[in-house]
Chain A
Amino acid sequence: MRWGEIIRRLVLIPPTLFGVCIIVFVLLRVVPGDPIAMMIPPGASAADIDRLRAFYGLDQSIPQQFITWFGQALSGNFGRSISLHQSVFELVLARLPATLELSAMATLIAVGLGTVVAFTGVYVRGRGAEWAIDGGIGVFLAIPDFLWALILLLLFGVLIPLLPITGRIDPQLDVTFHTNFYLIESLLTGRLDVASALLQHMILPAVALALPFAALVARILKASLSEAEDQDYAQIARARGFSRPAILLREVFPNALIPTVALGGVQITLLLGGTVLVERIFSYEGIGNMAIDAVINRDFPLIQGLILTFAILFIALNLAVDLLVTLLDPRLRHG
């Protein structure tokens, strides 16, 4: 039954992506704003403009443009960026690792922090401290990542300048990387100095992305832990002489994990979406930052490619969460 659901989701992926493509494509073209007008040098002739227009395929009708673009996209060609004069596919591929590293780091921080808070909250259940923890979770949940980014920027970049606030790595640090996963590569090759520089740049944006998600993880996990701890099997474990921490960790946690992954996992998409602004605020060179530039420059092919990238990431995440839940819950695995 569970596997059937996953297959159903798989089948729905292509039409969903197709829908995303159509909406973006139409949206970008029915509204005013001419990318060609933004790139021509002053004094270009009308013929020059027409030639450029034809070069980017913008002289065709919208359905024609879509068919051309979609056909090429199927073969891996997502067009050329109008503002950066490079293949969209290569541009996205070059920047994506930065965003993935940042999001992964943020997810790690969020899950770690959220888990600690949730366990603390459950441990002090029924006391005044629980009320305080719930309140704190509520506040952290209400303030979105980009506001945290600004607050952190103000606190640790300006008032107490501890950490760098721009970029992914110091420009004066002279290293060449073979991949675009800088952090992973420097860790694997043992360049710890480089890794530490990368981490210093990553920590503020990662924490900004992590805080609201940590609050979300804490809220869901805490509620799930409380519920599971009230179940008979957890109560009976007490009567078998196990200490409360041991019960929470060994009996309650594996059960609470299932709803937490199911509900919280999907929300990683929020974190991923948050990279757009947070990368912008910290001038971090990922696809989020690139997306804002693309919008400002009306770089249609690049916007399309980026939105499609995000959409694919979102869908993949949802699917991964479903699979993980199925793996965690023996009742679903066999049912």
Chain B
Amino acid sequence: MVDLAVSGPIARPSQWRAGFARGGPRLWIGVGLVGFFVLIALLAPLLAPHDPIEQDLLSAQLPPAWMQGGEVTFPLGTDSLGRCVLSRLMYAARTAIAVALIAASLAAIIGIAFGLIAGMFGGWIDQVVSRLIDVWMAFPPVLLSIVLAAVIGAGLTSVIAAIVVVDWTRFARVVRAETMVQLQRDYASAARALGLSRGQILRLEILPNLVPLIVTLFAVEMGIAILVEVILSFVGISVAGDVATWGGMIVEGRQVIYQAPWIMAFPIGCVILSVIGFNLLGDGLRAALDPVQRR
């Protein structure tokens, strides 16, 4: 059995590299997809062949360039108002990434705060927070976000608010449970025995252990935020007016689904790819950051 010892712990050149190795192809594909959309979002003004709101009713509903009747100047065709689909997709990526970042950050901050308070203090505080989460979980999330957005009114803020109000529990539940688990671990009791204050224990012992979880949730939440925008567009209460969003484009495309199905197909493709990207990124990060992950 001497031979088996070979498969023991191997020396790591750096933790990061080992982490990426653990993340595997999931992490790389996730990074690739998310990176692609972030890049497009950042460079949209440079890359887009047209102004996303420039209408050209004479060339409305043009098919993509490679199809019969397509034009090279509109690589992915035009919508019903003659706007360049490719340019709109690129600008919509900006909106999507911006909404996702802001909404996920706010949901994370609120959720983590509630989760930590409940987990750290326990007792009646925990009871209150837990009941609140219970009540929240009894709502159909889609319906809740629609109602919220409807009462707040259309617009970016409303989309973000809907996401935050609906999804803070996702962070709160996980952080609360994990905090309690961490507090029961040996090192936490050891830290208490050393006379560290609650704040110190929180900063030194609990938060570092929560980071992998939170990073994972954050990536997944960004994907969800992109989906919520689409949902709200469906009900006609997403971002108003000329601002290009994938959800808005899908809804517009649905009106002319028989005449010009590609108008709806492209933004659906973008949403799917970005959501898969964020999910893979989350999965990969969890594997990469958590060294003792169980299968």
Binding site for B on A (CB under 8 A): 12, 15-17, 19-20, 23-24, 27-28, 31-33, 138-139, 141-144, 146-147, 150-151, 153-154, 157-159, 269, 272-274, 276-277, 280-281, 288, 291-292, 295-296, 298, 303, 306-307, 310-311, 314-315
In the complex the two chains form, is A147's CB within 8 Å of B234's CB? no
**Distance between Cα atoms of A144 and B220 in the complex (Å):** 13
In the complex the two chains form, is A12's CB within 8 Å of B147's CB? no
Binding site for A on B (CB under 8 A): 26, 131-132, 134-135, 137-144, 146-148, 150-153, 223, 227, 230-231, 234-236, 250, 254, 257-258, 261, 264-265, 268, 271-272, 275-276, 279-280, 283
In the complex the two chains form, is A154's CB within 8 Å of B131's CB? no
Residues on the B chain within 8 Å of A296, using CB: 150, 235-236
In the complex the two chains form, is A28's CB within 8 Å of B151's CB? yes
- Contact A150-B250, Cβ < 8 Å, known A16-B135, A19-B135, A314-B138: yes
Q: How many A-B residue pairs have CB under 8 A?
A: 121
Is chain A's binding surface mostly helix, strand, loop or mixed? helix
Residue of B nearest to A304 (CB): B147
In the complex the two chains form, is A307's CB within 8 Å of B143's CB? yes
Residues on the B chain within 8 Å of A23, using CB: 135, 139
- Pairs across A and B, CB under 8 Å, 14 listed: A16-B131, A31-B152, A32-B151, A33-B153, A142-B272, A142-B280, A147-B271, A158-B258, A158-B261, A277-B142, A295-B146, A303-B147, A310-B139, A311-B139
In the complex the two chains form, is B264's CB within 8 Å of A154's CB? yes
Contact of A306 among B143, B231, B234, B257 (CB under 8 A): B143
Min Cβ gap A219→B in Å is 11
**Distance between Cα atoms of A310 and B138 in the complex (Å):** 8
**Distance between Cα atoms of A147 and B236 in the complex (Å):** 16
- Contact A276-B140, Cβ < 8 Å, known A27-B147, A292-B235: yes
Residues on the A chain within 8 Å of B131, using CB: 12, 15-16, 19
In the complex the two chains form, is A31's CB within 8 Å of B151's CB? yes
**Distance between Cα atoms of A81 and B172 in the complex (Å):** 36
**Distance between Cα atoms of A46 and B234 in the complex (Å):** 35
- Contact A311-B150, Cβ < 8 Å, known A142-B275, A147-B268, A147-B271: no
In the complex the two chains form, is A292's CB within 8 Å of B275's CB? no
Point out which of B131, B139, B152, B280 has the most chain A C-beta atoms below 10 A from its C-beta: B139
In the complex the two chains form, is A12's CB within 8 Å of B146's CB? no
3 A-B pairs with the lowest CB-CB distances in the bound complex, closest first: A19-B135, A31-B151, A273-B140
Residues on the B chain within 8 Å of A16, using CB: 131, 134-135, 138
Please name 7 further chain A to chain B contacts, defined as beta carbons within 8 Å, in addition to the given A17-B138, A150-B268, sorted by A numbering.
Answer: A12-B134, A23-B135, A28-B151, A138-B276, A158-B257, A158-B258, A276-B142
Residue of B nearest to A28 (CB): B151
